Every structure is written in structure tokens, then in C-alpha cells.
Structure 1
Amino acid sequence: MSNLQELDHLRIPFDDIKSATNNFSHQNFLGQGGFGRVYKGQLPSTDSSEPGTTVAVKRLDVKLGGQGEHEFLTEILMLASYKHDNLVSLIGFSEDSNEKVLVYRYEVNGSLDKHLASTDLTWAQRLRICLGAAQGLEYLHEGVGAGHRVLHRDIKSSNVLLDANWEAKISDFGLSKIGPTRQLLTFLVTNACGTFGYLDPLYLATGVLTKESDVYSFGVVLFEVLCGRPAMIVKHEDERRFLAHLVKLHQEKGTLHQIIIPNLLEQMKPYSLEAFSNIAFQCLNEDRKQRPTMGLVVKELEKALEHQLRTRTRLWGSVIGGWPFLFQLESNQKLRKITIGHDRWIHSLMFTVEDSDGLLHSSEQYGGLNDANNKGVEISKIFFEADEEIIGIAGTVGRRYGLELITTLSSVTNKRTYGPFGEKDYIRPRKKAQFSSSWDLGSFHGFYGRCGWYVEALGCYLKTNI
């Protein structure tokens, strides 16, 4: 293949591959794919003092009678041209002795389809896997270079590999196509191919391939991860056969929870499930114009993960007075200022954040409903440095007219303590309850509480890394 001459640096002698796989022994066999069999192997290091490289070897089945040669060439050219943390790594290839072999970095945890039903894989881990795969697909659609994009054409859970850290790697580019981006609608007319259960119905019906066809397939993968089952189950002869059809039926009835893995339901934060399922359903939209870009899918999965990793400290103050409020930082935001209205009590709180573009955004004012008629309210402002993080809060809770109110408030950061704000001596000590909250697990991610004329309760949201 003359097209491979400039990739000679990736060639590996076939005898070296035979040796690495113990002559393609049964003990090294990993699985069977459309291209052929896959084996585990160990390539020696050029430095005798260094350990060798563990590899996965995909061997073209000679019984295919010449079929698969195009896919072989496509796979090599794609993976040699495009590099991303969430794409599988091609180490080399061989076409010696009438053999065609692809050699990849071995991913310890295998393919995603093998773990769909696992009760050991937490919801947070599943979200990270989906996010990584989405980032890899976003790169293919939008990041490979000016004027073109890669359409994968066979996105499915068995083509998502998992490394030792459960990081997702998209694999199997033999069916991929390169399409232009400098036109209103990027499409290619091809013979529909892929895997039943994942195929975009419009692509199957018309042969018109667009990037939205990959998005549809990815939506099916998202629901596989959520429901713990494959896209198609042959033994079922009812609506359970195709997962995409099944989830739409449950969406219409509002019963999606019935087909989610039970132990995942116990772990899920409501906002996390909502963000995840909403974007997954958008991917399956019958109108391809209504399907999201992979960039949007990435953003929504980031939100789902953020919601899942958020936890709360204890709520200090009243659990019944005023109205609940919630202020949470987005992933690209940094808290830069807290504005506090106070006199004998904490009247109001307002938060200002800076986004990744350096723009400032202020929240609504929480509390202080009567401050327009109360000229005794003092306004204090806390300004945080760029590398300053809140690591705790402290204060007191007192009672007025039978209501519990936050009477003083301090904010503790990794650099200093701000406050206390409020009239700490106004209420007699026996009428006040002191509180303090700090955390070792997680980082500050927002406030929640209750407010009306005053701030009646306050707690913190944290973002954990578990």
C-alpha cells in the first residue's frame, strides 16, 4: 500500500508481533471483532533495563478473502493523523507475510460493554467515562483541523475502551469517513453501515451520513450506561429489544427510573440524573437538526458530573422560615466577592463570580426584602484573591420574634478570616448558638439556605473528588 510509505516509522516486523503474542496463542486471545481476532501481547523495550509495552494486537482474518483491507488502511491513517487523550493509541502495524496486523496500546479495563451491568462501577465513574468518550468524539467532529471533520460511523459501547484509570478511549476507525465543514450541512452519501441498535434511523433510511448520526449513536451509549444493558437484546421480541425505543416509551410515561440500574438510582443526585437524561434524549431526537453538537453534549455531561460531586454541609439556622435559596458555582467560575447586608442580624447576601473570560457576574440578592426602608443596614464586601479558596464558615444563630436568624457570619479562606459581620454583642450570649463548619473532603462550590427579610439559614455546597 503506497499510502503507508510515509508511515514506515510505525511498521513492526511480523515476527516481532508473533513473538509478542506467543504466536497468537489461545491464552493471549482477548476477543473477536469485525476485522478479526484480538490478542494481548508484550513488545520488548529497546532499553533492556525498561519493561516492555503491553499491547492489543488486531489481526485481519485471512478467511475474509481480502475484505477488511480498506478498513485496515483507514484505521492506520486516522490514528496516525489524529491524536487525543480520549482516542485509542496506535503503536504500529504490520503487513508482512500476507498478514495485516494493527498494534495498539493495551487498555487494562477492556471495553465499556463488558462493564455495563457492573454494580462496582459507580455513577460518578460512569459519568466520567461518558464525558471522556464525548470529548474524544467532539475532537473528531470539531478539532481535527480546518475544513474537515471525522465521522466515526460505528460509535458503540464495545468501541469505547477503558484504561487503568477508567479513562475512555474511542477505538475502531475502520468505517470512519472524512467530511468537509465549510458548508451549511456536512453530509456524505454512503451505504449505511454500523451496528444495529446504534444506527441513526435517518442514516439507515436515506444513506445520508452527517455528524448527527454519530450523535444519535452516542445517545444510545449514554442510555446503555444508565440502564446497564446493551443497545439490542436479540432474545426479546417486544419493545425491550432496542434500547433506544424502550427509553422513549418510558420517557413518554415518565417511568424512566424503572429501567435504570437500581444501585445507581440510590447514588444519583436528582440534578445529575436530570442533566444526563435530558442530553441523552436530545441525542436520540428523530429530527437531526434538533440533536445537540458534541460540544453541547460535553458541557451537559460536565454539569451532570458537577451535580453528582456536590454535597452539602449542615444547614445552620431555621429549616422553616423564609424561602429557600441556592447559589452554585459553574465549572468555569470563581467566587470573587461576597456582599453582606447587616446590622444586628445578617440581612442579605449577594455573590459575584468571574468566568474564564474574565467577565464578572453577580447573583440576585438573597434576603434583605425590607432593606429599602431600613437605613441602618451596613454593607460590607469581601474581595477574594485569584488563588483564594473558602475553607470554612462560622457565626452565630439567634432568635427574634420566635424566628431563628443568622446573627453573625465569618468566612474562612486558605489565607485569612473575614468578619465577623453582624452585631455580635446585641443578643445576650445565652440566646445565641455558635456554629462553625470546615471541610477536609471537597472544595467550596456555593451556598444554600433560607431567606426573607433576613438570612435565616445558611450552609455550603462542596464539590468532592470521589
Structure 2
Amino acid sequence: MAQIQELDHLKIPLQDIKLATNNFAEDNFIGTGGFGRVYKGQLPNDHSIVAIKRLDNTITPQGPREFALEIIVLASYKHTNLTSLVGFCDDDGEKILMYEYVTNGSLENHLASVNLTWEQRLRICLGAASGLDYLHGGLGTSHRAIHGNIKSSNILLDVNREAKISDFGMSNIGHMIDSGSLGFVDPQYKNTGVLSKESDVYSFGVVLFEVLCRRPAVMAEYHDERKFLRKVVKRCYEEEKLDEIIMDDLREQMKPYSLEIFSTAAYQCLNKDRKQRPSMKSIVQELRSSFEYQIGSPTKLWGSSTGGSPWSLLLDNNMKLRKIAIDHEDWIFSIGFTVEDVNGLLIFSQHGGTGGDNNRELYEINFDADEEIIGMLGTIGVTTGYYAGYQVISSLCIVTNKRRYGPFGEETMTRFRVPWDVGSFAGFYGRAGFYLDGLGFYSKNTI
């Protein structure tokens, strides 16, 4: 390809590569990619550590085309979440690509790690999404690239666990993907034979669910629905049973609304209709929201972390909480909010149930213009009667810089108290079903 000639400054002599890898010694072998073996090496001139991909023509007959294309893509697109091309070699029948060496290997190798927290997983997904969004249009409409082979093994992690998308040999090529990508393939490809940006979105959705469920896209030991993760997660999402496929220790780390935003974005990526899938720009925004909700509270969620459905109220800087409406008897049934912004009052729906009495009036807390919430305290109880055995918020007090409201509900022995500084309150989050199952707060200090 003619454009390769314009990149002669990136050419590296074969002899230097042999020196860097000790003539491709097995001691330096670190893995096999879609187009050949990959080695770790140290360049003789500046002693930098690099990853060296040696093209194997027996693996892919169209290797030379992908080889040239990957050089062009990597030389044209520069982003912190894309791997960097150090150089290439096209001598003596050898076709070799040289990249920056990414210390922590691929995301695929870390999916099952208990040491990778939910916050770290969110950071990785957000970084990878940002890199893919850049490929899809970061340089304008005339400079768009389709990756064509998005999967967890092609998302690398550097020393800080920053995600870097790799393996651009399939970019903008209208044929498929190696066999190792089976669980990530856009089903529309089978019908059209054409890859698109939306194909990348579909594959990325599978990656998101891999990260969420801590398992690979394909598990060969199964011969039923469980073999393909995409089938399992779609069923569980639609039946509201995602908790069944998320490991308990990871689930306990998740803020409810963070999980809801993340899982909804991932599910939308898997839509069979390409036109109904979100853009990567939209996915970046959703993942950023999921991350912000996750880190937005320095406190635990008081009450149940699994009962009911997640809800959240996060206040922007131009918003002020003016009213809280509470429905209660022996337990807190529901809570709702009225917020004021530049457009006036915004009334948010009640989170929770009515306790079976739709005629009971809500207790309303109306805040003065200079009044700010500085804490909450309450108790956690277990319901009795017809809906028995649920862990819920049994009583609640709201404390401001001027007064204390409550207690609402019946106080039990399991107490919690959460104070915070004046001006740091940024909203509430929780879980709610027939009752107010759980409650926590957001702080401006960590958003």
C-alpha cells in the first residue's frame, strides 16, 4: 500500500528486532494473537521494552493487507486508550509490528480476579469506550475507523490498569474476525456480511457483561444456553435477575444506580437491530455517569443492597432540594423529592410503595432557602405481617443546619447515623420496592 511508504521513519531493521528478542527465543514469547506470535523485547538503541507481533502467513492468508492497514491506523490515530505503534519491519519475508509494551496484559486475563474492584472495572470500561469512541469519529467524519475485533483479549491494561485497545488488523475490512471472537460477533454480520460501527458496539456490550459477570464470553464446558454469555445476560436482564449472575463480593461493592446505568447500557449494545444500538459517544456518557454514581458516596448503603429496585437523586450545582415527602407507619414505605433549579420546581416520583393505603397523606419536610441537610439517622428493621422478612429502613430522621425532622416510622435496635459537613450534600440514592429498602447519600467531596 502506497501510504506505507510515507511511514518509512517507523521502519526498524530486522537485525535490531532479532537482537531485541534474542532471535525470537521462547523465553521472550508472551502469547499468540490473531495473526501470529507475540514476543517481549528490549530495543538495543534506547533499551525500551516493546511487544513484537510476528506475522504468520499460515494463520491468515490476507495477513499482508491487515499488516499494512494496522500500521496506517496506528500511525493515524493517537489516543491514550489506544496502543501506540513503535515501529514495523518488512524485510526478508518477515512482517513484524512493534508496540509499546503494556505491563498488565489483557483484560481477558483479569476478568475473574477478585482483586479488581467494581470501581477499577468501571475505569477500565470507561477508558476502553473512550478509545473506541475516538476511533469511530475522534478525528471527524472523514477519519472514522471500525475496529472489527473488539473483545477482552484485545483490551490491554497498563501498569495503572488504564485500558488500551489493541489489534487493529481488522479495521475497516469487510470480512470476519478470528475464531476466538465467536462470542463477540454481531449477529447482523451473519446476515449482511458487513461490519459497521454498530458491530463494534455489539462486541463492546459483550465485553461490558464479561466485566460485570466476571466470566468470559464463551465457556466451552457448557453445551446449553450457559455457553454464550450474551444469551445468559439478555435473559437475566429481561427477567430482572442480574443478581443471579454477579458474584456476591462484587455485587456488595456496587451502588445501585451505578449498576443500573451500567447494565442498561450493556444490554442496549446487544440489540439485534443495529439502528437501536447506542453510539460509542453515548456509551461513554453512560459509563461516566455509572462511575460518578459509584464514587459519589463515601458512605455505605444502609438497609438492603439487594431488595427492591435502585433509584437515585443526584443534584447538579444549580439544583437545591426544597421538599422531602415521606410515607410511613411502622416502616418507611416511600420517599420522594421536590427540587428547584433555574426553571422552577421539579417534582420527582415517590420511591417505594404506599403500604397498601393510597389515601394516607405523605408527611412533607419543607426546607427554608438557607437550610441544608447535614446528616441522617435511623434504624433498620425486618418486616412482619403479610410482607414479612424484608430488611427495610424502619425509621428515619433528617438533620439540617437549623433543625431535626423525625423520627418517621418505628425505631428498632439496628441504628445508623451518618453526619456530613455543611455544603457537601449532593443527593440520595437507595433501593425501594413495597418499602424503602435501603438509603445512602452522595457527597460533593467525591463526585
Structure 2 length as normaliser, TM-score? 0.73
Which residue of structure 1 lines up, in the alignment, with residue 161 of structure 2? 166
2:209 and 2:60 map into 1 onto residues whose CA distance is 37
1:246 and 1:436 map into 2 onto residues whose CA distance is 39
For residue 284 of structure 1, what is the amino acid of its counterpart? L
What's the C-alpha RMSD, in Å, of the aligned pairs? 3.7
Out of 265, 271, 280, the residue aligned to residue 285 of structure 1 is 271
1:314 and 1:261 map into 2 onto residues whose CA distance is 18
The alignment partner of 1:56 has SS state of strand
Which residue of structure 1 lines up, in the alignment, with residue 21 of structure 2? 21
Unaligned stretches of 5+ residues in structure 1? 47-51, 179-189, 316-324, 342-348, 354-359, 372-376, 383-389, 397-402, 411-420, 424-434, 450-457
2:169 and 2:376 map into 1 onto residues whose CA distance is 62
For residue 427 of structure 2, what is the amino acid of its counterpart? G
Out of 334, 349, 358, the residue aligned to residue 317 of structure 2 is 334
- Give the C-alpha shift of residue 2 in structure 1: 3.7
Cα gap change, 1:294/1:380 in structure 2, threshold over 3 Å: closer, same or farther?
same
Matches within 5 A, 1:94-173: 94-173=89-168
Contact 1:338 1:351 in 2 (8 A): yes
Contact 1:339 1:381 in 2 (8 A): no
Deviations 1:178-224 (A, max 9, x none): 8xxxxxxxxxxx34445211111111222132211111111111111
For residue 277 of structure 1, what is the amino acid of its counterpart? S
1:404 and 1:64 map into 2 onto residues whose CA distance is 65
Which residue of structure 2 lines up, in the alignment, with residue 274 of structure 1? 260
Matches within 5 A, 1:129-278: 129-177=124-172, 190-194=174-178, 195-278=181-264
For residue 14 of structure 1, what is the amino acid of its counterpart? L
For residue 287 of structure 2, what is the amino acid of its counterpart? L
Deviations 1:109-133 (A, max 9, x none): 1001001111111111111111111
For residue 24 of structure 1, what is the amino acid of its counterpart? F
Cα gap change, 1:81/1:338 in structure 2, threshold over 3 Å: closer, same or farther?
same
For residue 295 of structure 2, what is the amino acid of its counterpart? L
- Give the C-alpha shift of residue 67 in structure 1: 3.8
The alignment partner of 1:311 has SS state of coil
2:129 and 2:396 map into 1 onto residues whose CA distance is 47
Cα gap change, 1:15/1:86 in structure 2, threshold over 3 Å: closer, same or farther?
same
2:90 and 2:121 map into 1 onto residues whose CA distance is 37
Deviations 1:235-278 (A, max 9, x none): 32111111111222323443222222232112122212111111
Cα gap change, 1:465/1:114 in structure 2, threshold over 3 Å: closer, same or farther?
farther
- Give the C-alpha shift of residue 368 in structure 1: 9.9
For residue 22 of structure 1, what is the amino acid of its counterpart? N
Cα gap change, 1:70/1:406 in structure 2, threshold over 3 Å: closer, same or farther?
closer
1:261 and 1:75 map into 2 onto residues whose CA distance is 37
For residue 172 of structure 1, what is the amino acid of its counterpart? D
1:33 and 1:84 map into 2 onto residues whose CA distance is 22
Contact 1:41 1:57 in 2 (8 A): yes
2:312 and 2:260 map into 1 onto residues whose CA distance is 17
The percent of aligned pairs where both chains have the same amino acid is: 53
Contact 1:144 1:150 in 2 (8 A): no
Contact 2:19 2:44 in 1 (8 A): no
2:184 and 2:300 map into 1 onto residues whose CA distance is 45
- Give the C-alpha shift of residue 144 in structure 1: 2.5
Contact 1:350 1:362 in 2 (8 A): no
Whichever of the two has the greater Rg, that structure is: 1
Cα gap change, 1:463/1:241 in structure 2, threshold over 3 Å: closer, same or farther?
farther
Out of 266, 278, 292, the residue aligned to residue 306 of structure 1 is 292
Contact 1:335 1:351 in 2 (8 A): no
The alignment partner of 1:150 has SS state of coil
Which residue of structure 2 lines up, in the alignment, with residue 7 of structure 1? 7
The alignment partner of 2:12 has SS state of coil
- Give the C-alpha shift of residue 33 in structure 1: 1.1
Structure 1 length as normaliser, TM-score? 0.70
